[in-house]
Structure 1
Amino acid sequence: MNSTSDYEGDYDGDYLNELQKKVKAGNPDDFRAGHCKDALCVITVIVNVIIFLLGIVGNGAVIWITGFKMRKSVNTTWYLSLALSDFIFCSTLPLSISRIVMDTWIFGLFMCKFTSFVMTLNMYSSIFILVIISVDRCIAVKFPVWAQNRRTVQRASLVVLLVWFVSALLSIPAAYFRNVADKPHVVICYSHYEHHHSTIVFTRFTFGCLIPLLMISTCYSILICKLRSNQISKFTKPYKIMTLLITAYFLCWLPFQIVSIVELSQTKHSTAMYRAQQVSVTLASVNSFLNPLLYAFMAKDFKKKCYSFLSKIESALNEET
C-alpha cells in the first residue's frame, strides 16, 4: 500500500481515520512497510535518485565555482544563493526516497518537520532570488550609472540574507503543522493543517507564484522595451540564462501549486489525487538540479565540449558578470 501521506502532500487528520479503516478491513500484510511495486512508485524512486545525484554534483560545482574560484560579484552572489538552496534541498532527498521505498517514516518527528521546512524554504528562496535578479537587471539597464555606483557585493549579500530570513518565516507553517502518526505496520509523516489548510495553500500560491510572476513580468516588459530601444545585443546570453531559469522554475512548481489548490475541493483523498500529488512533488524537485545544467547548456560550444562541464558552468556565470 502506498500511503497518501506523501513526502510533501497536504493531508488532514481525516486521512488517518481512513487508513485505520482500511487496515482493519484488509489483510494486515498488505499494509506493512516496504511495498514499492507499482510502476509509478518505481519510477518516482528512480527519478528522485537521479535528482539527488545530479543536484548534489551540479549545485556543488556551482557553489565551488561561485564561492571559491570566481571573483566575488553581485551576480555570483545571486547564483551562489540559488545553488545553496537547491543543494540543501537535494541533501534531504534520501529521506524522501527511503519513505517511498519503505512506505513508512523512520526518521522521527524532527526530520518530518525539517524536510517539509526545507522544501518550502527552497521554493520561496529560489523564486525570491529570481525576482531579485530580474529587478537587479531591470535597474542596471534602466539606471546604469546609479547601478554602477550602488550595486556592491556587500549590499547583495544583505539582500540575500533578507531573502533567506523571509523565506524561513514563510516556511514555518510547513514545519509547524507537520506531524507523525503511528499506525499498524506504518509510521506516517503528514500535514495536519486543521482549519488553516486554505490559508496555507493560498499564502503559498500568492507569495510563491502569483506575486513573483507579476513582478518578473513587469521587469521583463521594462527590459525588453529598454533593450530594443537602445538596440543592445551584448546582454543576449545573460538574459537568455535568466529567462531559462525563471521558465524552468514555473514549469516545475506550477503543477504543485495547482494540485494543492485542487485538493482543497476534495472531500476525501482519492488514488488519483495521491498520484497527482506524487507527480507534482517530483516535478517540483526536478527544478533543484536544472540550474547547473542550464548554465552549462548556455555556455559556448556546449555540444562540442560536454566533457568540460565545470568550465562551462564557470563560463556561463562569468558571462553574467
Structure 2
Amino acid sequence: MSVDYIEYDDYTPYNETENNTIKTGLLPFSSCHSSLNHVLVAVNIIISVIGLGGNSLVIWICGWKMKRTVTTTWYISLAISDFLFCAFLPLEVFYMITSHWPFGLVLCKFTSSALFLNMYSCVFLLVLISADRCIMVSFPVWSHNHRTVQKALGVLVLMWVLSALLTLPSLIYRQTTVHGSVTQCHTSYMDHSRHKAVVLTRFIYGFLIPFLIIVFCSSVLCVKLRSLTKKSTKPYKVMAALILSFFFCWVPYHSFVILESDLMNHSLEVLQTGLKVGATLAAANSFISPALYVFIGNDFKKNLKRSKSMEII
C-alpha cells in the first residue's frame, strides 16, 4: 500500500536521525524494493477494479432484487463501506507510482480516512451481524416481535456516526507538504504519545474488543446450532467467512502498526515492507466480501440469475 495508509511518517517528528528524508516523514516510493512496489501496485489496481464492480453488484442485488430484510440491510451497508474505500483507492495507486500528491489537502485527508472508516464500519457491522444472529437463535420470539428493518436502520446510523468519530484523527493529523515540484500527503502527530494513543485506540476499538464480541457470539451460535440441524446453516457460513476474512486481512496491519510505534527496537526496512503488505491485505478485505456473497450465498446467486434471465427476456 502507499505511504498514505501505512503512515511511515507517524514516527518521524520525534525520531532523531541525520537522514533528512526520515526527519521530514517523507519516504519516497523508491525507498523500498521496487519489485515489491510493482506487485503491490498491481494488487491494489485489482482490488480497486474488483471491489468497485463486486460491491456495486451486491448493492444492486441486495437493494433492488431481494426483499428488504434486516440481513440484507446489514450487507448493503457493508458493501457501501467497501465501495467507498475502493472509490478512493485509485488516488492511492497514483501516489504509490509517482510519490507526488496533486489532489490537494481535502482529498489527502479523505483518502487516508477512507481506510479507517472502512475498518471501523466493517468490524462494527460484523459485530451487529454476529449479535443479530445470536439473538435470533437465542431469543426467537423476542427477535420475531422486535427485529425490524426500521430499527436496523437506526442502529446503522449510530454505527456510522461512531465510525466517523473514531476516524477523526486521520482527518485532523493528515497534511500535505510541498518540496519543490513534489507534494507529499502524510501524517504528523507531532509527539510520540499522541501517535501511540491513536494506534492503540484503533487496535482496541477497531479490532480487539469487536473481535472478542464476535468470537463470543459465534461460540453461542455454534452451541445453539447443534440442536437446530434442520435449519439452513448457509447464513452462518457467510458470516463465519466474513469474520475470518476480516481477521486475516487486518491482523498483519495492526501488528506492524503497533511495532512501528516502537521504531527504535525494530528494523526500519522490515517495518516499511510489513506495513505496505499489511495495508494491502487490509484493502483486500474490500473485495473479498462481495466474492463471499457470490460463492456462498445461495439467495444472492438465485437473484442474480433471475435478474439476468429477465434482461434476456
Q: Shift of residue 104 of structure 1?
A: 1.6
Aligned residue number for residue 245 of structure 1 = 242
Over residues 109-145 of structure 1, what are the superposed CA-to-partner deviations in whole Å (9 max), with x where a residue is unaligned?
1111111111110000000000000000000000001
Which of 169, 174, 182 aligns to 1:186? It is 182
SS of the aligned residue for 1:7 comes to: helix
Measure how far apart 1:217 and its partner are: 1.1
More displaced 10-residue stretch of structure 1: 6-15 or 132-141 = 6-15
1:141 aligned onto 2:137? yes
Q: Deviation per CA, 1:12-67: give whole Å up to 9, x if none.
A: 343899697359xxxxxxx9989998111111110011000100000000111111
Distance 1:255 1:313 in 2: 40
Shift of 1:91: 0.1
Alignment of structure 1 residues 273-292 onto 2, 5 Å: 273-292=271-290
The reply on whether 1:204 has 2:226 as its aligned counterpart is no
Q: Is the 8 A contact 2:238 2:297 kept in 1?
A: no
Check whether the contact 2:249–2:284 (CA below 8 A) recurs between aligned residues: yes
Letter in 1 for 2:159: V
For the 8 Å contact 2:65–2:303, the answer to whether it is kept is no
Change (3 A) 1:160 1:56: same
* Paired amino acid for 1:253: W
Amino acid at match of 2:209: I
What is residue 305 of structure 1 aligned with on the other side? none
Deviations 1:73-115 (A, max 9, x none): 1001000000000000000011000001111211111111111
Aligned to 1:14: 13
Q: Which range moved further: 119-128 or 269-278?
A: 269-278
With over 3 angstroms needed to count, the CA separation of the structure-2 counterparts of 1:110 and 1:15, relative to structure 1, is: farther
Q: How does 1:242-321 map to 2 (within 5 A)?
A: 242-267=239-264, 270-299=268-297, 311=304
Higher deviation after alignment, 48-57 or 267-276: 267-276
The 1:234/1:192 distance shift into structure 2, 3 A limit, reads same
Report the CA distance between 1:5 and its aligned residue.
3.6
Q: Cα–Cα, structure 1 residues 192 and 220, in superposed 2: closer, same or farther, change >3 Å? A: same
> What's the CA shift for 1:188?
1.7
Q: Aligned to 1:187, what secondary structure does the other structure show?
A: strand
Rounded to whole Å, the distance in 1 between the matches of 2:197 and 2:293 is: 36
Determine the C-alpha separation between the residues in 2 that align with 1:168 and 1:209.
Answer: 16
In structure 1, how many angstroms separate the alpha carbons of the residues matched to 2:197 and 2:90? Answer: 30
| Stretch deviating more after TM superposition (37-46 or 124-133) | 37-46
More helix by share: 2
Q: Secondary structure at the match of 1:190?
A: strand
Q: How many residues align?
A: 299
CA contact (8 A) 1:35 1:101 kept: no
- Residue equivalent to 1:171: 167
CA distance in 2, matches of 1:61, 1:258: 33
8 Å contact from structure 1 (residues 35, 102) kept in 2: no
Q: 1:16 to 1:188 in 2, by over 3 A?
A: farther
Matched, 1:222 2:220: yes
Mapped partners of 2:274, 2:190: distance in 1:
22
Instruction: Answer with 240-249 or 8-17: which moved more.
Output: 8-17
- Specify the alignment match of 1:69 in structure 2: 65
| TM-score normalised to structure 2 length | 0.87
**Distance in 1 separating the partners of 2:61 and 2:181:** 46
TM-score for the superposition, normalised by structure 1? 0.85
Paired with 2:16 and 2:179, the residues of 1 have a C-alpha distance of 10
**Residue 57 (str. 1) matches residue 56 (str. 2):** no
Aligned residue identity for 1:282: T
Moved more, 247-256 or 104-113: 104-113
User: Larger deviation: 4-13 or 282-291?
Assistant: 4-13
- Aligned-residue sequence identity (percent) comes to 43
